[in-house]
Amino acid sequence: MNPPSSPPDTVPGLLYWLVTHPVYVPAVVGALVVLYLGARILGYDLIPPMLAKLGVPTYRRGVNIAGEWTYECTAFQSDLRWGGECTIEQRATPYGLTWQLSGVRQWEAQPGALKVHLATPLPWGTEWGAFVDKNTVVFVYTLSKGEGEVKGYARATITVTDGRPSRLDGNFYQLPPFQALHGALKFERRPAA
Over the stretch 22-60, which tens digit does the pLDDT of each residue have? 777 787 788 878 877 776 666 666 666 666 666 666 556
Choose the weakest-confidence range: 83-97, 98-112, 118-132, 145-159.
83-97
CA distance 71 to 168: 9
When comparing pLDDT for 17 and 41, which is higher? 17
CA torsion 50→53→58→63, rounded to 10°? Answer: 160
Mean pLDDT of the chain: 84
Confidence band, pLDDT 50/70/90 cuts, at residue 84? very high
Choose the weakest-confidence range: 70-74, 92-96, 126-130, 143-147.
92-96
pLDDT at 65: 93
Whole-Å CA distances, 82 to 116, 119, 165: 9, 14, 22
Between β-strands 96-109 and 67-75, what pairing exists: parallel, antiparallel or unpaired? unpaired
* List of residues 6+ apart from 162 with CB closer than 8 A: none
Whole-Å CA distances, 29 to 8, 34, 107: 19, 9, 61
For residue 112, give the DSSP letter.
T
When comparing pLDDT for 102 and 48, which is higher? 102
